[in-house]
Each structure stands twice: as C-alpha cells, then as structure tokens.
Amino acid sequence: MNRIEAIFSFIDEKDKVVDVGCDQAKLSKLLLTRNQCSIASDISEKVIKKAKESIKDDRIDFRVSNGLEKINKDEVDTLVLSGMGTHTIIEILSNTKIKFKKIITISNNYHDILREKMNTFGYIVSEEQIIKENNKYYNLILFVPGNKNYSESELLIGLNHKDIDLYKEYLEYLSNKYKIIKKTSEDKNKKVDKMLEIIDKKLKTV
C-alpha cells in the first residue's frame, strides 16, 4: 500500500474532503474511483493549473490557497495534510477556525511536536500507520477531536498503530539509526539515549 492508498483507506464515502498541498491531486483522483467529490488545493498556482489540465474532471474542486484560506467551513469535515513538514502543518492549523471531524497527516518530520501541538488545537491521535514507499518510512496519523495526556513514549514513537509488522520494522530501523548516531557522536546526547530506551522497551511489547 502506498501513501495515497493508505490515506484513502482512512476516508469514508460520506467524508467531505479537502486535500491541502495536493500537488498532482492523486488522492482526489483516487476518490473519483468511487465517485467521491473533493477539494484539491495547493499554494502554488502552477501546481493547480497542471493538475487541473491533467485530470479534467469537475468532480474535483481545484483551488489555489495558502493552507485553508480559501476553504469555507461548511464545505469540509475531513482534512488531509500530506507531504509537508510539521511546522507547515501547525501554521496551517493555527490560521483556521474550521473544526474537522478527522485530520489525516503524513508529516516529514517532528512527529512528537505534531502530536503534542495537535492536542492544543483539540485533536488527539486515533490511529497511526507506518507506510513504506520506495524504501522510505512514512508515519500517517489520524487525528480526531479530543484531549489527552500522552506519555513520553506515545509522544515520541506514537500509539495505536495499524499494521504492527511494519511498525516493528520501523522501530528496528529507528533503533539502528539511533545506535549509529550514538556511536558516531562525540558528545553524550540525552535525547538519543532516551529514544533508544523507549524504542527498545517498545520493541519488547510489539
């Protein structure tokens, strides 16, 4: 399963979807296979022009928009933010008053900061899934409305993972990565030690 198929698997037919940062609008295209309309938006005029020309289907509502600026609250209840960094995701959510029933993210970095910050916006982790595409791991997170006190381990390596085999493989990859960092770095790094402790503890239970 690739990233776009994984996102699709978290979307129900009745969901009113906006894919922010849609690029080639692959998700909206996949939604069309079950006749589901969606909004595909991107900050880049050039990107939207290209996507519109290649798909040519008026069931996709293409918009040029910085984050959710050009999206109205009644049009959507499900937000997809995939292929951007945590800080961009946080900025987009800081600048909207829209409340979503579901937010699906695939951030490139700082998943611990994302989980923590989403809590302050009123969203908690419902489920997570590791995806492996072109030999790279991606962390999909499904957020739903709520409030939660996370443990340090939950913030750092996530919770409620679907596809436990791939999650285990990802943890083993992380464990090796941090072991190499520890071996090659001259200074004692407390964060690396903490990560290794948490990952190795988790690996004994999954």
Parallel, antiparallel or unpaired: strands 102-107 and 123-133: unpaired
**What one-character DSSP code corresponds to residue 188?**
-
* Of 11, 18, 47, 93, the one binding ligand SAM by CB under 6 A: 47
Asked whether the beta carbons of 87 and 63 are under 8 A apart, the reply is no
Q: Is residue 51 involved in binding ligand SAM (CB under 6 A)?
A: no
Piece in contact with ligand SAM (CB under 6 A), picked from 18-26, 111-119, 120-128, 155-163: 18-26
Question: Are the beta carbons of 24 and 62 closer than 8 angstroms?
Answer: no
Look up residue 109 and give its DSSP letter: S
Closest to ligand SAM by CB, 82 or 119:
82
Among 1, 44, 150, 203, binds ligand SAM (CB under 6 A): 44
84 lies in the binding site for ligand SAM (CB under 6 A): yes
Residue in 6, 31, 39, 42 binding ligand SAM, rule: CB under 6 A? 42
* Residue pair 32/58 in contact by the 8 Å Cβ criterion: no
Q: Please answer whether residues 121 and 114 qualify as being in contact, where contact means their C-beta atoms are separated by less than 8 angstroms.
A: no
In the block, tokens 């519109």 appear at: 52
Please answer whether residues 143 and 77 qualify as being in contact, where contact means their C-beta atoms are separated by less than 8 angstroms.
no
Among 23, 112, 127, 163, binds ligand SAM (CB under 6 A): 23
Count the residues of the shown chain that bind ligand SAM, applying the rule CB under 6 A: 17
Residue 92 binds ligand SAM, judged by CB under 6 A: yes
Q: Applying CB under 6 A, which residues contact ligand SAM?
A: 3, 20-23, 42-44, 47, 66-67, 82-84, 88, 92, 106
